[in-house]
Every structure is written in structure tokens, then in C-alpha cells.
Structure 1
Amino acid sequence: MQNNNTQAVVRDDAPLPIPKPTRSAWLAVLSVAVGSFALVTTEFLPVGLLPSIAAELGVTEGVAGMLVTVPGLVAAFAAILVTIGVGKTDRRYVIWGLTATLILSNLIVFVSPSFPLVLAGRALLGIGVGGFWAIGGALGNRLVPPASAARATSIIFAGISLGTVAGVPAGAMIGELVGWRMAFFAAGSLSVLVLAAQVWLMPSLPTTQALTFAQLPALLRVQKARLGMLATLLVFIGQFAAYTYVTPFLSQTAGLGAKAISALLLIYGAAGFVGNLIGGWAVAKSVKNSLIATGVIMGLSAAAMPLFGTGAVGATVLIVIWGLAFGMMPISVQTWMFKAAPHAMESGGAVFVSTAQISLASGALVGGVSVDHLGVSSAMVVGGLFGLAMAGVIAAWARDDGQPLGKLHAVH
């Protein structure tokens, strides 16, 4: 007689349920993303306020450009020193501390009566920017389950991208309405809210590993990554040699008023957002071609400003084209570096951040020297030439799959 009583069979190969992130986890991610937005927005605030700052503090516009140069240089060292210095400290406390430097920096700038004190406040910002770029981007992997890590990371970097394209027009608009100091006060107020949200929402993020100086050169040992670092150096110098001084150019050479300039910077930011979307599509097709297109479009549009951007129509057209290239730039460079050395990005990430920040600071410095000695139009040309040089380097030495053709020699 057959026994009809059967037992349920448990299959060992049955798929395990994928854990879903909680609402509090997503709110923690959002607090980091808004923090990244506040940091990057503050970093670029002076670009849209340069003439007003220079006039009130009694310095040239080239010297005022140091407000972009100095935090970039400090950030370059902070990316390495903060990453190593925090050791195994709970990353929650590290992020709180970096956000606190942002609050203090904006407060110092808001109340300081002299350029040296304002510059000191901006230097403090560099610690927050460098530390966050090196540490904050990796938090998405820890705040949510692995299946949602990519989405969390993209949200955090969206804050960085939005701050990059929105910081300048936001600062210019606030500065036009209520003065340049209030732009920094607004950024500081936002930072207070961000810190409160992070203290409330972020869970404990202990770590068992500490980065050492011996691990830093990992990225530099990869030939394709070294080519990417050179491209980063050239395109960031070019971008910020020209962009740091775009407001004085639009005012002095194009003859535009403050409201028109604020509108153009807003258009530039909007074009940058579109460019970021285009860049995502372009790198999926070919990272090499995306980088070349970024360098060529940015280089030509910036260099053409003194020729065709001397009126409202020409300036608007070139600003839109330039903004598209600016939006493509971060995703093109970052994708190249990740594909070049995915195994070395965690240990070498601080080195890459330092390279980008040194390039940013150097660009503002090069542009400032050019402005003070050759006039504001020269900064546009110098920046454009650096962008074109980046496109030439990638076209000459990179394969279609991103592999360098051979040993990379000095560029002459």
C-alpha cells in the first residue's frame, strides 16, 4: 500500500530573498548626497561672485581667483591625509566632522572683513572637500544592502554633479539679490541642516581597515590609469583656467549686466545637467571618444569666447555648448579611471582626488595670472588650449577599448 503522506522538500538551490534597504537607509544616503551638494556648491560659489568679492575686498579679480585655488590645493592634500589620518574611525563621525568644517568655513567667509581672513576660511573648506571626495563616495556601499549599492552611490554622486553645475548660478543669483556674503551665509545655513540630518539619520559605520601610505601608489602602477590621470590634469586645468573668470569676461568683454550673467550661468548649469546625461550615453558607447569629444567641445567653445562671445547671442550659444562639455567631463574621466583600474580605485581613490583638486587649483591660478597680465579674454584661450591638448593626448595614445597604445612619454 502506497503511503500518500508526503513531506515538503526543501531545495538547497532555492534563491534567497534579496534584502531591501529600509526607509531610514535611503534617508541616510540622501543626507550624504545633500551634504555632497552643499560642499561642491560652496567650493564653486566664488566663480559667480568674483567681481563683487574683488571690489569689496580691494583685490584684483586674478587675486580673488585664489578663493578657488587655495581650497583646491588644500583639498588635494586633505584627500590623502584625512583618508589615512582617520584610520579606523567610525565613518559616521568622519562625515560629521567634514560637514562641520563646511559650516565653519562659510561662517568665517561671511563675517571676515579682509581678504586674508576670507582666504583662511576658504582654506578650511578644502579639508572638507578633499576628505569627502575620498571617503563619502564609498558610503553608498555601506548604507544599503549590496543589491542597492549602485543606486545609492549614484544618488550620492548626483549631489556632487548637481553641486558642480548649480553652485555657480545659485551663488550668482543670491549675490545679485542680497550680496555675495549672503550666498555664503545661505550655504552655511544649508550645511547646518545637513549636519543635523546626518547626526539623526546616519547609522554607525565602523571599519576594520585603515589605509596606509604604502597603498596609495596602486593606481599609478597601472599604465592606463596614468594616461587617465594626465587627461584629468589637462582638462581640469583647462576648465577652471577659463571658467573661474567667465563672470568677469561676460561683464567686461560681452558687456552684460549682473542679471543677464546670472541667467547665463543658470543656463550653463542646465546645459551641464544635460551634458551629464549625454556623457552617460557616450561612455557606454566609447569612453575614449567621450573623452575626446569633451576636450574638443570644451576647448573650442572656451577659446572661441573672445571671438564670438562678445555679444549676448554669441555668448549664450557658446555658454550652452561649453556647459554640455562641462557636464560630460566628470563622468567621462571617472569612467575611464574605473575601467582602467577597478581593483585599485579604493586604495588609489585619494590619489585621483588629489590629482583632480590640484588640477582645479592650478587652473584657477593659471587663469588668474593670465587675467592680471594679459586681460580676461586670455583666460578663455588658455583654458581652451588645455582642453584641446587633453583631446589630443587621448586621441594619440589611447586605443578604442581604453588601452594605451604603448609607453606614455612626456608630452611636448
Structure 2
Amino acid sequence: MKVRCFIYMENKITTHEWLPLIGMTVSAFIFNTSEFMPIGLLSDIAADFRMTEAQAGMLITIYAYVVMLMSLPLMIAASRYPLRKLLLATISLFAVSHVASAFATGFWTLLLSRIGVAFAHSIFWSVASPIAVRLVKGPFKALAMSMIVTGTAIAIIVGLPLGRIIGLYVGWRMAFMCIAVLAFIVLAYMFFVFPKLEKSEPFTLSQLPVMLKNPVLIGLYMMSFLLPTGYYTAYSYIEPYLKQIALMDEAWITITLVIFGAAGLLGSAAFSKWYDKCRYHFFRITVLGVAVVLLLLYPVSINHYLLVLLCAVWGIFVTAFNVVGQAELLRTTTISTSAVAMSIYSGIYNLGIGSGSYLGGLICTHASIAYIGLGGGAIVLLSFIYCAFFLIPAMRRQQAEPEK
């Protein structure tokens, strides 16, 4: 009887595991909502500070570059601190920075407050997945990872459109203040439910060259730059694009962004169902799918319904790629190096976001916003060639090595 009871307890998540895991999921939601919120509010912020959308887009570009530059050094420094204190301090910085955003007196003040958010982002996304899997027993580590991904997906589905709606009716400042309030609530919640976890062994720069000898890891880093660069060339300016090129009104734009995010859940579900069965084909299809969608963005803009459908397909492929990238990174690294490997991945991904946002701004300024999809699609097509002919062969070789 005691043995059966023990087995039963081992096959379910306890309340002490659920509570902090839920907190991590909500944290993922607010961190991602904050990252994407300026995209939905770009026109309003630009109008308030009397600048163009391309100039206001520097909020996205510089934010991404700060995350890129600071992810590795902050993660190495933070690895010396207990995870509970580190997480609470990170959420605190995030919340305070959003209060500063809400009360920004000018564009440069707003940008400075966003840099504070970027510092918090750099640390949080380096430790979020490793923390989540350490909160639960072995059989539930995949569930813990999926909950972090779910928080991200819900941010795109609900967070970005909700931030846009709040911005439309009561101003973009109140949208940032709402994030601050949610962050303080999460901080208080995590203070009471988050357990003390043993800190990992401090990572030193001397370990970095060994980790970077992994060809699959280097390939994933290359993909984490190329595809986001192409994706964000278009996505950073999707709100003014829908308004100016597709001639959508505010309601249509909000609906399109909601459907884009909601479709991401289908991408996550597709990953769960098919990735293990046809791992390499699935990877190739997700990358090619993003390229095709971007290249079709301008031709399809003549019809609202077709454009909404295209954005839904876009959301499916992009979410699937994001989950694949994280899964492959955790597969090819060890427990001791996964947090730092993830911080580098996050940094390079944000380099792609910043580069894409900058490139999209150049296209808007010197050509036309109508061509952001064509420019982004060409870059993603390049990433597909790299994935199909260089990365996946390296993955096959690495998988075959233990069998020799």
C-alpha cells in the first residue's frame, strides 16, 4: 500500500510545484507582453512624440540590441546568486522600469526606461526554462517547459492586442502602467510561493570555448539570428502596414493581431504532435513556411480576409520555429551549460530582432513600407537554405555519433 501511494505521488505534480510554476508562466506572459507591446502602440507613441513610425521603431531596435549585448555578461554575473533572490530582483527591476515608462517625459526618457526592462529581460529569459524544469520532478519537466511556452503564446494572443486596446482608449502610458501593476502582483505572489533552489555552479568564460565547439549549437545560433532578422523586418511595422497598405481600420487591425497570436497555439500543438515523429522535416517546413508567408504579404494585402488568413499561418510557423529552437538547444547542451547557452541564444535572437527592426525602418524610410514583407522574406529564405543544407546535416551527424 505504501509503495502504491509513493508511486501515485511521483506521478502527479504537488501543490508546492504547481504554485511557483504558475507564477513562472504568468511571468513569461508579462515579460513577453512588454517586449511586444511597443509594436501594437508604435503609431500612438510616434504621434505623441511627433516622430515617424520608423523613428519610434528605435524603441524596438535598441531594446533588442541591449538584450543582445547584456544577456551573456549578466547571466555569468547572476549565476553566482541564489535563484530565488535572482528571480525576485529581476521582476522588481522589470516592474520599476515600467513605472518609469508610464511617466516618461520624452522619447529618450522612455527609451532609458525600456533599457531597464531590457536588462530584466536579459536575465529572466536566460533562467526561465532552466528554473521551470527544476521546479518539478523528472516526468513533468516537458510540461514545465510547455507552460513557459504557453505564457509566451498567451502574451501574443491576449497581451499585445490588450495593450493595444488599452493604448487606444486611455493612452499608451496606461498600457505600460498596467504591466507594472501586474508585475508587482506577480512579485508579491512569487515572494510567498517560490522555493529556495540551490544555485547552479557559476559559469566562467573559460568554459565558453568548449561549449562553442558544438557545431549544432553554432548552427542554432545562426538560425536564431537569420530568421528573426527577416521576421521582424516585417513584424516590427505590422501595425502601420495594416493601416497604410492593407487599409484596415482599428478594429480589423486588433482582430488580425489576436488571430495571429491565437494561431501560435496551433504551432505549439503541431510541434507536440509531429516534431518527434519527423524532426528534420518539421524544422525545414517551419522555416520555409515563414519565408513563403512574408513573400506573400504584399500581394495578399488587397483582400482583408486573405491577409488575416495569411497572418494566422504566419503565427503557426513562427511559434513552431521558436519552440523547435529552444527544444534543440536543450537537446544539444548539458544541464550545467543550458542556462548560459540559452542566454547566448536569447541575445543573438534579440540581435536578429534589432537588426530586423532597423532594416524594416530603412525600407520604410528609403523605399516603402509596402516592401517590408519582401525584404524580410528574402532573409528568411536565406535562413532556410542554411537550415536545409548545413544545420540539419550537422544535427544528423551529431545524432549518429553515439551509435558508432
What is the TM-score normalised by the length of structure 1? 0.89
Pick aligned residue for 1:403 from 377, 383, 396: 396
- 1:209 corresponding residue in structure 2: 201
- Is residue 2:261 matched to residue 1:264? no
Alpha carbons 1:291, 1:391 under 8 Å: kept: no
Structure-2 change in CA distance of 1:15 and 1:256 (3 Å): closer
* Deviation at residue 144 of structure 1 after TM alignment: 2.8
Query: What is the alpha-carbon distance in structure 2 between the residues aligned to residue 348 and residue 295 of structure 1?
Result: 22
Q: Deviations over 1:272-291 (max 9, x none)?
A: 12122113333223332222
Query: What is the alpha-carbon distance in structure 1 between the residues aligned to residue 9 and residue 186 of structure 2?
Result: 34
- 2:178 corresponding residue in structure 1: 186
- Listed as ranges, the matches of 1:257-296 within 5 Å are 257-296=249-288
- Is residue 2:34 matched to residue 1:42? yes
- Is residue 2:372 matched to residue 1:379? yes
Query: What is the alpha-carbon distance in structure 1 between the residues aligned to residue 216 and residue 81 of structure 2?
Result: 33
- Is residue 2:17 matched to residue 1:18? no
Query: What is the alpha-carbon distance in structure 2 between the residues aligned to residue 353 and residue 339 of structure 1?
Result: 16
- 1:6 corresponding residue in structure 2: none
* Deviation at residue 351 of structure 1 after TM alignment: 1.7
Query: What is the alpha-carbon distance in structure 2 between the residues aligned to residue 269 and residue 302 of structure 1?
Result: 16
Query: What is the alpha-carbon distance in structure 1 between the residues aligned to residue 221 and residue 328 of structure 2?
Result: 10
Pick aligned residue for 1:351 from 344, 348, 363: 344
- Is residue 2:122 matched to residue 1:130? yes
Which consecutive unaligned segments of at least 5 residues does structure 2 have?
399-404
Structure-2 change in CA distance of 1:138 and 1:226 (3 Å): same
Q: Which amino acid aligns with 2:348?
A: T
Q: Deviations over 1:29-48 (max 9, x none)?
A: 11121111111110000111
Query: What is the alpha-carbon distance in structure 2 between the residues aligned to residue 309 and residue 140 of structure 1?
Result: 41
Query: What is the alpha-carbon distance in structure 2 between the residues aligned to residue 68 and residue 139 of structure 1?
Result: 27
Q: Secondary structure of 1:284's match?
A: coil
Q: Deviations over 1:363-409 (max 9, x none)?
A: 1111112212112122221111122111121222244783369xxxx
- 1:409 corresponding residue in structure 2: none
Query: What is the alpha-carbon distance in structure 2 between the residues aligned to residue 310 and residue 144 of structure 1?
Result: 49
Structure-2 change in CA distance of 1:145 and 1:314 (3 Å): closer
Structure-2 change in CA distance of 1:90 and 1:346 (3 Å): closer
Q: Deviations over 1:335-386 (max 9, x none)?
A: 3333344565344222222111211221111111221211212222111112
- Listed as ranges, the matches of 1:178-257 within 5 Å are 178-207=170-199, 209-257=201-249
Alpha carbons 2:233, 2:357 under 8 Å: kept: yes
- 2:71 corresponding residue in structure 1: 79
Structure-2 change in CA distance of 1:358 and 1:88 (3 Å): same
RMSD (Å), alpha carbons: 2.4
Alpha carbons 2:68, 2:348 under 8 Å: kept: yes
Q: Deviations over 1:198-245 (max 9, x none)?
A: 111112223252111222344421112222221221111111111010
Q: Secondary structure of 2:198's match?
A: coil
Structure-2 change in CA distance of 1:43 and 1:334 (3 Å): same
Query: What is the alpha-carbon distance in structure 1 between the residues aligned to residue 375 and residue 246 of structure 2?
Result: 18
Of residues 344-353 and 111-120 in structure 1, the stretch that sits farther from structure 2 once superposed is 344-353
- 1:361 corresponding residue in structure 2: 354
Q: Secondary structure of 1:141's match?
A: helix
Pick aligned residue for 1:55 from 47, 56, 67: 47
Q: Secondary structure of 1:151's match?
A: helix
Alpha carbons 1:283, 1:335 under 8 Å: kept: no
Query: What is the alpha-carbon distance in structure 1 between the residues aligned to residue 11 and residue 282 of structure 2?
Result: 36
Query: What is the alpha-carbon distance in structure 2 between the residues aligned to residue 366 and residue 346 of structure 1?
Result: 30
Which consecutive unaligned segments of at least 5 residues does structure 1 have?
1-10, 406-412
Q: Deviations over 1:67-99 (max 9, x none)?
A: 112221222233212221124311111111111
* Deviation at residue 104 of structure 1 after TM alignment: 1.6
* Deviation at residue 165 of structure 1 after TM alignment: 4.5
- Is residue 2:381 matched to residue 1:388? yes
Alpha carbons 2:156, 2:258 under 8 Å: kept: no
Task: From the CA coordinates, give the structure whose radius of gyration is larger.
Answer: 1
Q: Deviations over 1:293-313 (max 9, x none)?
A: 122221121222222213312
Q: Which amino acid aligns with 1:290?
A: F
- 1:119 corresponding residue in structure 2: 111
What is the TM-score normalised by the length of structure 2? 0.90
Determine what percentage of the aligned residue pairs are the same residue: 24
**Whose helix proportion is higher, 1 or 2?**
2
